[in-house]
């Protein structure tokens, strides 16, 4: 049994799967679709919610530097992802790459960690979507009762589970249902919807940057790096790094592009564009938004679920017209994140089931729509329940730790495969090898170290549950 944990999926099998067949996923996505998918996944809860909290609690105006720190970690990992995605253009992302390079055991751990990332990211963002929608509807006179717009459980300041008095988060469940239907019907339809949503939210964000810049008060940037309070991670240099771990959630999603590799028209050329292009565009946007936001409003006032709205309010009537547009942009932005996260999750299940490690029905593809329909329905159902009922206080960091673990494995995988299989065709090569993948491992490990210890405990429990599923099901049914 121990030996089987190191079984690797043969490269010739991966290449055969990558070539596609009559029963496989449909290749309908082009370069623009892939970049839009990446932007759709990245720009969401991070920019509309977490940026202000990270500035107010950890980094001050220097939160823009925190975005650069996180972007560096993502950039190194993104270059490694691009090499793998171009070389092995099939669904599965880091799970598939690790199966080819480090064996079944590591592949299962990464696959299960990606479930933690995508499934709960979708649920978490759905709750954020609910908050913006309830707020927007209230502004036009439509009131949704609090009992139907919040989870019935939450954590108090001592991390005890307490009742909120609510029944169910109905708006969150509603958006999960809509997104699931879109994904069920087809990736092309989902991508078209995502392109429209991405255009809306980028337009709104650029309006905020262009018009907001005129109301920046330079004194709000002084001091740019507030003095440390005496507690590690609260302002100062350590605060910048602590904030980078918190806002890392804002960057997850570019790796979701790689889960759609088997549905790309020309994956060898387009996957690197999709991964690196979306990461670059979003980094620039994040830096500009954080500078404008902390320039308009003092960072101490930004610890709120809607920091951009707070900044707009600081301008008085000057940008009052922009406030409803920001809410619409936030709703659009969060919608696209949910779509890409749930799409990524269904493709992970699909790949694991194809290899025999997960329940076989998850590998079935709809005869008409060409989508993994059973995987989509189950993923949507779980996300719906989680978003409607469960507390999300620590889910942001749980999503981050699952993502960082996957990034580290991908960087290690590039190192291993370059030495073990130098003969393989690599349409895109990670530059400055082996420096880039090594820096990727170091940077992602460093960011992970700043996460809450409770996050590591819950992640450990999650991995134990995954191990039990592997032992009871996947071990005896694995194809490789």
Per-residue pLDDT tens listing for the chain (480 residues): 555 766 777 767 766 666 554 445 566 677 777 787 778 777 776 777 778 878 988 899 999 999 998 888 888 888 888 888 777 766 556 777 778 777 888 888 888 888 887 788 888 788 878 877 887 888 788 888 888 887 787 766 555 667 778 888 899 999 999 999 888 876 565 667 767 877 888 888 889 999 999 999 999 999 999 998 888 778 999 899 888 887 877 777 766 676 666 667 776 677 778 878 888 888 899 999 999 999 999 999 887 767 887 888 888 888 888 888 888 888 877 887 888 788 878 878 888 888 888 888 888 887 777 778 888 898 889 889 888 887 665 666 777 788 888 888 889 888 888 888 888 788 888 888 899 999 999 988 988 888 777 778 888 888 899 889 888 888 888 877
What ranges in 140-186 are assigned the alpha helix state H? 170-185
Those residues whose C-beta lies under 8 Å from the C-beta of residue 24, and which sit 6 or more positions away, are: 17, 262, 365
Calculate the alpha carbon distances from 115 to 38, 51, 94, 112, 179 in Å: 18, 25, 12, 5, 18
- φ, ψ of residue 29 in degrees (nearest 5): -100, 130
Q: Which residue has the tokens 């880091």?
A: 94
Rg (CA), the chain: 22
- Residues facing residue 154 across a β-bridge: 162
Asked whether the bond before 434 is cis by omega within 30 degrees of 0, the reply is yes
Say how far apart CA 377 and CA 414 lie, in whole Å: 33
What predicted TM-score, i.e. pTM, was given to this entire model?
0.77
Nearest-10 crossing angle of helices 104-139, 395-420? 140
The CATH number that domain 3-18+25-477 falls under is 1.20.1740.10
Say how far apart CA 194 and CA 32 lie, in whole Å: 11
Q: What count of other Cβ atoms lies within 10 Å of the Cβ of residue 466? A: 18
Calculate the alpha carbon distances from 60 to 25, 246, 308 in Å: 46, 13, 15
What is the separation of C-alpha 461 from the centre of its chain, rounded to a whole number of angstroms? 21
- Residues facing residue 26 across a β-bridge: none
Q: Which of 264, 254, 256 is nearest to 89 (CA)?
A: 264
Does the CA dihedral 41-238-77-416 come out positive or negative? negative
Q: Which residue has the tokens 């892939």?
A: 34
Question: Any idea where the domains of the chain sit in the sequence?
Answer: 3-18+25-477
């Amino acid at each position: 049994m121990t030996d089987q944990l190191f079984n690797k999926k043969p490269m010739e099998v991966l290449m055969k799967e990558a070539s596609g067949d009559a029963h496989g996923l449909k290749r309908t996505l082009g370069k623009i679709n892939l970049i839009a998918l990446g932007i759709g996944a990245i720009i969401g809860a991070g920019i509309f919610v977490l940026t202000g909290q990270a500035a107010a609690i950890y980094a001050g105006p220097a939160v823009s530097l925190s975005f650069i720190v996180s972007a560096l970690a993502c950039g190194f990992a993104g270059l490694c992802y691009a090499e793998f995605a171009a070389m092995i253009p099939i669904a599965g992302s880091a799970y598939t790459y690790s199966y080819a390079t480090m064996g079944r055991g590591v592949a299962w751990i990464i696959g299960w960690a990606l479930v933690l990332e995508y499934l709960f990211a979708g649920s978490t963002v759905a709750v954020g979507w609910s908050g913006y929608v309830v707020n927007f509807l209230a502004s036009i006179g439509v009131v949704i009762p609090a009992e139907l717009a919040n989870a019935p459980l939450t954590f108090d300041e001592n991390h005890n589970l307490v009742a909120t008095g609510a029944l169910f988060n109905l708006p969150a469940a509603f958006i999960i249902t809509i997104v699931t239907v879109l994904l069920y019907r087809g990736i092309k339809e989902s991508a078209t919807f995502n392109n429209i949503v991405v255009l809306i939210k980028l337009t709104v964000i650029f309006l905020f940057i262009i018009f907001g810049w005129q109301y920046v008060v330079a004194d709000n940037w002084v001091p740019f790096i507030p003095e440390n309070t005496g507690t590690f991670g609260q302002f100062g240099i350590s605060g910048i790094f602590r904030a980078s771990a918190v806002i890392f959630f804002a960057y997850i999603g570019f790796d979701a592009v790689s889960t759609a590799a088997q549905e790309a028209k020309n994956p060898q050329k387009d996957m690197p564009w999709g991964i690196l292009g979306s990461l670059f565009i979003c980094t620039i946007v994040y830096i500009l938004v954080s500078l404008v936001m902390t320039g308009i409003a003092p960072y101490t006032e930004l610890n709120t679920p809607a920091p951009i709205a707070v900044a707009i309010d600081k301008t008085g009537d000057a940008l009052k017209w922009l406030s409803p547009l920001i809410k619409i942009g936030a709703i659009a932005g969060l919608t696209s994140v949910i779509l890409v996260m749930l799409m990524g999750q269904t493709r992970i299940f699909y790949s694991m089931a194809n290899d025999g490690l997960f329940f076989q029905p998850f590998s079935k593809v709809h005869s008409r729509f060409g989508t993994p329909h059973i995987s989509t329905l189950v993923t949507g159902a779980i996300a719906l329940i989680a978003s409607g009922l469960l507390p999300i206080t620590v889910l942001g960091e749980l999503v981050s730790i699952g993502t960082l673990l996957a990034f580290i494995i991908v960087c290690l995988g590039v190192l291993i495969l370059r030495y073990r299989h130098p003969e393989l065709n690599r349409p895109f090569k990670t530059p400055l090898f082996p420096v880039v993948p090594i820096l990727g491992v170091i940077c992602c490990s460093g960011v992970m170290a700043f996460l809450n210890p409770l996050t590591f405990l819950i992640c450990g429990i999650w991995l134990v549950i995954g191990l039990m599923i592997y032992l009871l099901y996947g071990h005896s049914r694995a194809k490789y």
